Amino acid sequence: MTRFAAPIAEQIWDMKYRFKSADGEPIDVTVEDSWRRIARDLARIEAEPAAWEERFYGALEDFKYLPAGRITAGAGTAREVTLFNCFVMGTVPDSMSGIFDMLKEAALTMQQGGGIGYDFSTIRPRGAEVKGVAADASGPLSFMDVWDAMCRTIMSAGSRRGAMMATMRCDHPDIEQFITAKQDAARLRMFNLSVLVTDDFMEAVKADGPWELKFGDKVYHTLQARDLWNKIMRGTYDYAEPGVIFIDRINAMNNLAYCETIAATNPCGEQPLPPYGACLLGSINLARLVSDPFGPKAALDLEALSDLVSVAVRMMDNVVDVSKFPLPQQEAEAQAKRRIGLGVTGLADALLMLGLRYGSDEAAAQTEEWLHQIARASYLASVELAKEKGAFPLFDAEKYLASGSLQHMDEDVRAAIAEHGIRNALLTSIAPTGTISLYAGNVSSGIEPVFAYAYTRKVLQKDGSRTEEEVVDYAVQMWRDLKGDAPLPEYFVNAQTLAPTDHVKMQAAAQKWIDSSISKTINCPEDISFDAFKDVYMQAYETGCKGCTTYRPNDVTGSVLSVSEKSDTAPGEAPAKGAGVTEPGAEVVYMSEPLDRPQSLEGHTYKLKWPDSEHAIYITLNDIVIAGRRRPFEVFINSKNMEHYAWTVALTRMISAVFRRGGDVSFVVEELKAVFDPRGGAWVQGKYIPSMLAAIGGVIERHMVTTGFLEGEGMGLKSDPQAEVVNLDAPRGKACPSCGQYDMRMIEGCMTCASCGYSKCG
Spatial distance between the Cα atoms of 472 and 452, rounded to a whole number of angstroms: 8
User: Cβ(123)–Cβ(139) under 8 Å?
Assistant: yes
Find the helix packing angle between 500-511 and 530-542, rounded to 10°.
10
- Backbone phi and psi for residue 362, each to the nearest 5 degrees, phi listed first: -65, -40
Helices (H), 488-618: 500-511, 530-542
Amino acid at 110: M
Helix (H) or strand (E) holding 383: helix 361-389
Spatial distance between the Cα atoms of 580 and 561, rounded to a whole number of angstroms: 15
Which of 266, 285, 424, 494 is flagged as catalytic?
A: 266
CA 437 to chain centre: 13
The answer to whether residue 593 is catalytic is no
Task: Give SS3 for 639.
Answer: strand
User: Cβ(338)–Cβ(256) under 8 Å?
Assistant: no
Contacts 24+ apart (CB under 8 A), 221-227: 221/173, 225/201
Spatial distance between the Cα atoms of 261 and 593, rounded to a whole number of angstroms: 47
Output the CA angle 745-747-749, nearest 5 degrees.
Answer: 115
Question: In terms of C-beta density within 10 A (0-12 exposed, 13-18 middle, 19 or more buried), how is residue 302 classed?
Answer: middle
Task: Give SS3 for 640.
Answer: coil
- Backbone phi and psi for residue 689, each to the nearest 5 degrees, phi listed first: -115, 125
Amino acid at 248: D
- Backbone phi and psi for residue 290, each to the nearest 5 degrees, phi listed first: -90, 125
Which of 170, 268, 739, 761 is flagged as catalytic?
A: 268
* Cα–Cα nearest to 281, from 748, 752, 753: 748
Which whole-number Å values give the CA distances from 398 to 334, 382, 407, 516, in the listed order? Answer: 22, 17, 12, 20
User: Cβ(427)–Cβ(314) under 8 Å?
Assistant: no
- Backbone phi and psi for residue 105, each to the nearest 5 degrees, phi listed first: -65, -40
* Cα–Cα nearest to 755, from 464, 344, 435, 495: 435
**How many other CB atoms are found less than 10 A from the CB of residue 536?**
22
Spatial distance between the Cα atoms of 425 and 11, rounded to a whole number of angstroms: 37
Q: Which runs of E-coded beta strand occur in 26-103? A: 65-67, 86-88
The answer to whether residue 285 is catalytic is no
Helix (H) or strand (E) holding 177: helix 175-180
Rg (CA), the chain: 26
Report the DSSP beta bridge partners of residue 618: 607, 638
Q: Residue 689 contacts by C-beta under 8 Å, 6 or more apart in sequence?
A: 681, 682, 683, 695, 698
For the chain, the 3-state helix, strand and coil shares in percent, each to the nearest 5, are: 40, 20, 45
Output the CA angle 124-128-130, nearest 5 degrees.
Answer: 90
**How many other CB atoms are found less than 10 A from the CB of residue 468?**
10
* Cα–Cα nearest to 242, from 202, 199, 183: 183
Report the DSSP beta bridge partners of residue 197: 246
Which of 53, 105, 270, 448 is flagged as catalytic?
A: 270
The answer to whether residue 622 is catalytic is no
Spatial distance between the Cα atoms of 735 and 647, rounded to a whole number of angstroms: 29
Report the DSSP beta bridge partners of residue 467: 459
Q: Active-site positions?
A: 266, 268, 270
